[in-house]
Structure 1
Amino acid sequence: MQPIWTPSDKWLEETNLRHYQAFLEKNHGLIFSSYADLHTWSVSHKADFWKSIWDFSGIIGDTGEGPFVVNEDHFLDAQFFPNACLNFAENVLAGLKHFEDDESVIVFWSEQGVKLHVTKADLLLQIKKFRAWFQDQKLQAGDRVCAFVPNTHDSFAAVLAASSLGLVWASCSPDFGVEAVLDRFEQLKPKALIAATGYYYKGRYFDLGEKVHQLSSALGTQGSTVVFDYPGFEDKSKQAYVNIADQETHENEITFERFSFNHPLYVMFSSGTTGKPKCIVHGAGGTLIQHIKEHQLHCDIKPKDRVFYFSTCSWMMWNWHVTTMASGAAILLFDGFPFLPTPTILFDFAEAEKMTLFGTASKYIDALRKRSLDIKKTHDLSALRMITSTGGPLVHESFEYIYKHIKQDVCVASISGGTDIISCFVLGCPILPVYAGQIQCKGLGMDVSVVDEAGISVEETKGELTCQTPFPSKPIEFVGDSEHAKYKKSYFDRFDNVWCHGDYAEETAENGLIIYGRSDNVLNPGGVRIGTAEIYRQVEKVDAVTEALAVGQQWDEDVRVILFVTLRDGVDLDEALKAEIRSVIKNNSSPRHVPSKIIAVPALPKTKNGKLVENVVRNVIHGEEVVNKSTLENPECLTYFANIPELQVA
């Protein structure tokens, strides 16, 4: 297989990863002839590897006396840097040393046309205001604060202020309904609530006053709620609560107390599609060192780079984006619908702000491709070095689209990990070639292996994505899980002392990886395991289809594949179109992949982060209860899948 992109010699020489290899040679006498050799060392010498990341990146804090990894042989009990202390925010804000006080360190664009440049001095002042408010509330290190906020510079300032004081942060984006937010926040018993007064989406301003009132009342934070205005709508601010704009601060220099490496930093939430979301606690040190490794070595982020990730404050990529400032990057934020006011608004942003890393969801790239947008002809993206995609597999055709129609000389990194580890298992590598449809590599320090049903490692064969040994960003705990029962069931139920991530994957001959979808959504007709992404990739070739969702239906003591599709305006699902879909799937995959039934629906259900929910549709077609509809962006569309006559017959 031929690569779709190969780094030049000049590119290679300038990468952080090459500088890191030189650092290892100079300081430890270690020379590696390939990335694979470096990866093998990183997982077989964990203490040396993670200590080298601390030293190479210049993490601020005290590592303490070694050993730097204890209980390495037991996943759940393993600890990294057990005697270390640091402050997460101190390390993130250390990246500001590369900027003058009047230089922009955050640039915010919104759908309705607001463009804000937040200087270093502006950001530090806003952090001091939030710190002063937290201190006025008598909050102590370890207290939890919850945020109901959009993706703005104020949210960024608030999370850094909270972490600077050792507070624990959890956030939801404001498009969540009150019930869905309370399902998450009530479990945490927060001491304070941070909220925006509103947000803007798809051409409309949404006032959050009533939602914030309901949340504050239910959480018991009426006296400890602070709000900030949405950019461009300051005059709409409701003053029922303290507005951070009115907060006074007398702090000259921020002083940072240092906490243990495993001091809690974030609470992240599982999707909650099968019940109340699990509350996953991540530590400051593990999050910091893992993100810095990914940013500097895998994403090649350097001082004065300009990094963008299209995200909301409900998605772990927002937390991941926050940490990029630790590597000296300026932060580029966009809030709103990514195709308004124009379909190319994000690339307008990229060109105007000389974006160096463009991060987004795979579905966004798919949508660009289906709109046939030729970005390369309309935009100057000369500063752009890397495009990253996550939230689902990036299909082969979307890789080709990027190189033909966005930019030719760019490293395209499909990345995969999750909320559970607030980072990646497999991701990009700036010194390796890119192969269409593949994730470039296993993350350094991540002992990733694809295994068969018996837990034996396999190559060029589909299996379960696992991590064989511990890593620093594994969760500290789940909230309300003192015996670790939920923790163990979530990751170690399948294989003893081996993290099973729940992805159906394959390691390729090129040492890359392909993710075929979630394991619990794998189809099994006639005993043959099929990842849903294998079907989606083929269906996307059919121009009349805009999106597809495949599930397995129990039928005649077996499983049959049911394919739901949404169609372009004015298109009907006639027998000719069904035949075309089946032919494309059969000719490019196999007869086993061909669905027994193809059914058109007006819409497909998704989470708030835009992910298809195959398991929910599977429950509906089998007449089973959907436990928590509030986690869905469009729960009303579930009615399309209930009691379908066509699914009651052969």
Structure 2
Amino acid sequence: MGERVASDIVWSPSAAWVRDANMTRFAQSIGFADLPYDMMHRWSISDPGEFWSAVWDFARVVGDKGSVTFEPPPDGTMLGARWFPEARLNFAENLLRGADNALAVIESDETGIARRVSMGELRAQVARIADGLLRAGVGPGDCVGGVLPNRIEGLVALLATASIGAVWSSCSPDFGAAAILDRLGQIAPKVLFAAPRYRYGGREHDIGARLAEVVSGIPSLSAIVLTDGTDAPFEATSWREFGSAGALLRYARLPFSQPLYVLYTSGTTGKPKAIVHSAGGVLLQHLKEHQLHCDLKPGDTIGWYTNTAWMMYHWLISSLASGATIVLTDGAAIPKREDGLDVGLLWRLVESAGLTHLGISPKFMHAVAEAGYRPSDRTDLATLRVLMSAGAPVAPDQYDWVYSAVKPDMMFASISGGTEIIGCFLIGSPTLPVRRGQLTCKALGHAVQVLDTRGVPAIGRKGDLVCTEPFPSMPLTFWGEGGDARYFDTYFSQRPGIWTHGDLAEETIHGSGVVYGRTDTTLKPGGVRIGTSEIYATVEKFHEIADCVVFGAPKNNDEEIVLCLQPAGAGISPDLAARIRKAIRESASPRHVPHRIHAVPGVPYTLNGKRVESAARAVVIGEIVKNLDSLSNPEILDFYRNLARETPL
């Protein structure tokens, strides 16, 4: 047992690493030097007021904390807690501190680094746009929308909105008009910032007509600001002409619970839920994760490949509050070149930008590995200290690839949380070892447990990931009529008083975790719950397969597992299907073996790049996918409608 457990460790921090870690300094600052992590975690959830107050002090939050840090919910559940009820702060003020000549932002795209912006330049741009918003009649609590790529203008518009206490919400410009209206149309923004053109995959995309449809569908708009001229079929102001140059930057210090962001669920089962997050909750959650769990320090440089619609964009830009330089990356992560796919773009960015922290996805790692590209052989990764991954479970063999092909001595953190908490329940730590296939630890301040079918905590068995105590980054509500009720129904109806997150997970004897997938896509053949991640991890080892999706379909009062494979080259032969079944049986279990295997031309994905098992399942069993606009490739579902039980491989 001991030998097997020891072999799970793929990296351990050195004594010097632990000594210099922010986590260690934080423990010392609260008088808990040398306290084991699990004990510090228990303290963080048993005395939440003291813990989050200590985070405020350690991160040097700009603002007035007040004398009260935490008022528990009156009914003893998770809802109704009040955090820092006397506090006054401004989110943008905390992100925009620092010397004028400090490097604040590096903007990159498919050609490499495009711009570098100092903190002084960033503040001046934010001041001008904030002036324009005030002149447009925007005030605290009003909504401002963005349809913008991941470039400087989007960051400036967000920070300008936050500086005056207004609410920011953004979509990526590759979203269709209906998808944008399903999101921004819910919140009735007063001002819309938009890019009429964007570049992706080496091509320029003109979305002027799409924006015209969006503008006509949002009657609340009093101003539209275009980042690239005003050549559009509607009245608009150019970015350069919005606001007064030389305007003074002022910050509206407002309550901790002041709304800051509206973020959206994927919307694959209906209209996206509009989740309202507070300025104080977002700031403290991100400062804790960045500084304690990711060991982000002043002078570090951090990038995460994301678009402006995903929560990881908002997570990334909060890094400014820790004194780090952020890298905004626009365009494709793996662009097409004349000689094929360029899988080295982000790794070259590590070298050219001096990245200390990089965030990617398991899908990206798989594509790089499949291409035979070893980043450590092709680029100088000397500055890289922390590699992170989110968006889907990381397969165990990908941990091996990280430490073999990327860098042997660095912290790797598979992190898991969600848009609804704008952060993580399971995360990394610079003072703990990294274990193969496991998320390192429960996040400080989150009372995370895995409950089995009896509703009791389980170790070493799969169950529902839950949180049992309140935390500052819980949503304020869902936007719109009946928002509180919809919020409760989503997270608390299954277990009143307990947050049920919707992940099938396992807690290990080490306090680490394994996430097997979403519970709404959990397979249940013979009534036994099976996570999809174990099947994906096995299939992705086959070079003949470009992509895959697995889901359950009803059969004779039971469920059969359906595996759809997208071939990398030629079709899927019966022999290949047999080898895949055999590998799944050996690496997972006989229960994981698919009953049906089909060859498909592609796999459905959300606009944010997440595989959508539910959409594939729905069309296969004859149901209607309620929101096709949430998918990046809805046309692929036409093929799934014709898959027949009589013709599997």
Q: Which TM-score band (shorter chain)?
A: over 0.9
Deviations 1:171-202 (A, max 9, x none): 00000000110011111111111111211011
2:69 is the alignment partner of 1:63:
no
Aligned to 1:120: 119
CA RMSD across the alignment = 1.8
Aligned to 2:463: 463
Question: Residue 510 of structure 1 aligns to which amino acid in structure 2?
Answer: H
2:233 is the alignment partner of 1:241:
no
Give the superposition deviation at 1:129.
Answer: 1.7
2:227 is the alignment partner of 1:225:
no
- % of aligned pairs identical? 38
Give 1:263's match in structure 2, choosing from 258, 268, 273: 258
Distance 2:231 2:511 in 1: 54
| Cα 1:308–1:113 shift into 2, 3 Å | closer
Report if the CA contact (8 A) 1:362-1:392 is conserved. Answer: yes
Runs of 5+ consecutive residues of structure 1 not aligned to the other structure: none
Aligned to 1:49: 51
Question: Residue 318 of structure 2 aligns to which amino acid in structure 1?
Answer: T
| Cα 1:467–1:582 shift into 2, 3 Å | same
Give 2:291's match in structure 1, choosing from 296, 300, 323: 296
Deviations 1:10-29 (A, max 9, x none): 1111110111011111xxxx
Aligned to 2:160: 161
Write the mapping of 1:164-243 to structure 2, written as runs, cut at 5 A: 164-220=163-219, 223-229=222-228, 240-243=235-238
Report if the CA contact (8 A) 1:32-1:38 is conserved. Answer: no
Moved more, 577-586 or 101-110: 101-110
| Cα 1:575–1:482 shift into 2, 3 Å | closer
2:631 is the alignment partner of 1:625:
no
Question: Residue 269 of structure 1 aligns to which amino acid in structure 2?
Answer: Y
Report if the CA contact (8 A) 1:605-1:632 is conserved. Answer: yes
Distance 1:259 1:568 in 2: 54
Moved more, 462-471 or 182-191: 182-191
Query: SS at 2:138's partner residue?
Result: coil
Aligned to 1:7: 13
Write the mapping of 1:471-510 to structure 2, written as runs, cut at 5 A: 471-482=471-482, 484-510=484-510
| Cα 1:603–1:79 shift into 2, 3 Å | same
Distance 1:239 1:483 in 2: 33
Deviations 1:576-609 (A, max 9, x none): 1111001100111111110011101000000011
| Cα 1:241–1:67 shift into 2, 3 Å | closer
Query: SS at 1:185's partner residue?
Result: helix
Aligned to 2:94: 91
Query: SS at 2:394's partner residue?
Result: coil
**What TM-score does the superposition give when structure 2 sets the normalisation length?**
0.95
Query: SS at 2:608's partner residue?
Result: coil
Distance 1:239 1:107 in 2: 32
Distance 2:600 2:284 in 1: 45
Report if the CA contact (8 A) 1:70-1:82 is conserved. Answer: no
Distance 2:34 2:473 in 1: 25
| Cα 1:470–1:77 shift into 2, 3 Å | same
Runs of 5+ consecutive residues of structure 2 not aligned to the other structure: none
Give the superposition deviation at 1:247.
Answer: 3.2
| Cα 1:613–1:24 shift into 2, 3 Å | same
Distance 1:538 1:360 in 2: 21
Write the mapping of 1:389-408 to structure 2, written as runs, cut at 5 A: 389-408=389-408
Give 1:282's match in structure 2, choosing from 277, 284, 287: 277
Distance 2:348 2:647 in 1: 50
Give the superposition deviation at 1:31.
Answer: 4.3
Question: Residue 290 of structure 1 aligns to which amino acid in structure 2?
Answer: Q
Deviations 1:53-97 (A, max 9, x none): 111111111122225233273211112112211111011112xx2
| Cα 1:483–1:161 shift into 2, 3 Å | closer
Deviations 1:414-450 (A, max 9, x none): 0000000111111110100001110000000000000
2:519 is the alignment partner of 1:519:
yes
Question: Residue 411 of structure 2 aligns to which amino acid in structure 1?
Answer: C
| Cα 1:103–1:292 shift into 2, 3 Å | closer
Give 2:25's match in structure 1, choosing from 2, 19, 23: 19
Query: SS at 2:205's partner residue?
Result: strand
Query: SS at 2:597's partner residue?
Result: strand
Distance 1:528 1:209 in 2: 50
Aligned to 1:105: 104
Aligned to 1:315: 310
2:590 is the alignment partner of 1:574:
no
Query: SS at 2:529's partner residue?
Result: coil
2:406 is the alignment partner of 1:411:
no
Report if the CA contact (8 A) 1:129-1:244 is conserved. Answer: no
Give the superposition deviation at 1:215.
Answer: 1.4
**What TM-score does the superposition give when structure 1 sets the normalisation length?**
0.95
Question: Residue 369 of structure 1 aligns to which amino acid in structure 2?
Answer: A
